[in-house]
Amino acid sequence: MRTVGVEEELLVVDPSGVPVPLGPEALVVASRRGEGETPEEHDRASHAGEEGRGESPGHLVPELMQQQLELGTRVCTDLAEVTGELRYWRGRADAAARAVGARVAALASSPVAVEPVTTPGERYEEMAATFGLTALEQLTCGCHVHVSVADDEEGVAVLDRIRTWLPVLTALTVNSPFWLGRDSGYASFRSQSWNRWPSSGATEPFGDAATYHRVVADLVATRTIVDAGMVYFDARLSQSWPTVEVRIADVCLRVEDAVTHTGLVRGLVETAAREWRAGRAAPGARSELLRVAAWRAGRSGTTGELVHPLTGRPAPAADVVTALLEHVTPALEETGDHARVSEGVAEILARGTGADLQRRVHRDTGELAAVVRAAVDVTAGR
């Protein structure tokens, strides 16, 4: 069974709902045993911070902006474990933020107006100096799912075969309708803001690992991006672990939706690997079409039409999501994930995404700060 790991970026906000640059202070608290932490929790956190050969430890780390934290789960083998890890690390992040007078919210953008503050450090400061407003305004939070692969050849074969389905994952995870004080008109404005980076977005098929690594080396050689860590493809090979890293999603407001997303990603990776082993050619869709498909997914999420990966034509979002689920069903059945993932997809289609919940709260209250406060509660599991 392919292992998975999840990274989530979270906003650090004050009680009124405004993002505050207290991420570094919260990390200091998180690095030691908290006042309300049980010995068992302390032991687990200590173990999670240990480096293991070939295994990603759980973590809390800084992000580009001081109004953010990033959590990462340990390596997981089943979705129940992913659920527990995400709840644990969200709780740990929130406890650390509480200790410095703040909270965390799983929002992919800030609903209220705020001036982002860059985290100190040579790399982040170089990014801010090089990319100007693209970096200085990048207070966005995504969800990255890592799925294990046998080697780089299998990993690149997977990248070439999942690329047409990635916009559907964006549609299911949209959670950034508001942007710094106003409704953006998008369900995921994070996806629009993120694509201002010159190395982001959809890619052409690579064909083999040598070509993939040559493209990455050529991008770095342009001296436009700071380093290979800034290769912000929608999906890429991890630099640190033997995984494919799918980066196209907003951070999900609900843990349940993040777990559904994780299951779909693992199903896509396994399905693509099987197609490669069976000698099936990768889809030849051009990146121009994929960028349009991603734009439509970010614009309306699951409430409008999406570009169907099998036809390249618009279709109702529910039909396209159903096609994705059918595409990965054999892989989900083999891992025992089918019931959990299909139920999770049905729930999202029935009750809406994080973006839908944010807009409902804003309609009911007329306050963007109330949207943030509601997100704090949902992030904490309430």
Question: Is pLDDT of 236 > 60?
Answer: yes
Tokens of 142: 């995504």
pLDDT, residue 57, reads 62
Question: Is pLDDT of 43 > 90?
Answer: no
Domain ranges of the chain: 4-379
Structure confidence by residue, pLDDT tens digits, 281-337: 999 999 999 999 999 999 999 999 999 999 999 999 999 999 999 999 999 999 999
Choice between 135 and 53, residue whose per-residue pLDDT is larger: 135
**Cβ contacts of 222-226, under 8 Å, gap ≥ 24:** 224/198, 224/199, 225/198, 225/199, 226/123, 226/126, 226/127, 226/130
pLDDT, residue 382, reads 81
Question: Is pLDDT of 34 > 80?
Answer: no
Task: For residues 99-123, give the mean pLDDT.
Answer: 97
Say which residues have a Cβ less than 8 Å from residue 364's Cβ, sequence separation at least 6.
none
Task: For residues 164-185, give the mean pLDDT.
Answer: 97
Question: Is pLDDT of 42 > 90?
Answer: no
pLDDT, residue 119, reads 96
pLDDT, residue 48, reads 39
DSSP lists the bridge partners of residue 305 as 316
Structure confidence by residue, pLDDT tens digits, 243-279: 999 999 999 999 999 999 999 999 999 999 999 999 9
Question: CATH: 3.40.1190.20, 3.20.20.70, 3.40.50.720, 3.30.590.20. Which one for 4-379?
Answer: 3.30.590.20
What percent of the chain shows pLDDT beyond 70?
93
Choice between 343 and 32, residue whose per-residue pLDDT is larger: 343
pTM of the model: 0.93
- Strand, helix or coil for residue 167: helix
**Chain position carrying tokens 């902006």:** 65
Share the mean pLDDT of the chain.
Answer: 93
Task: For residues 41-59, give the mean pLDDT.
Answer: 44
- Helices 166-173, 317-335: axis angle to 10 degrees equals 100
Question: Is pLDDT of 40 > 50?
Answer: no
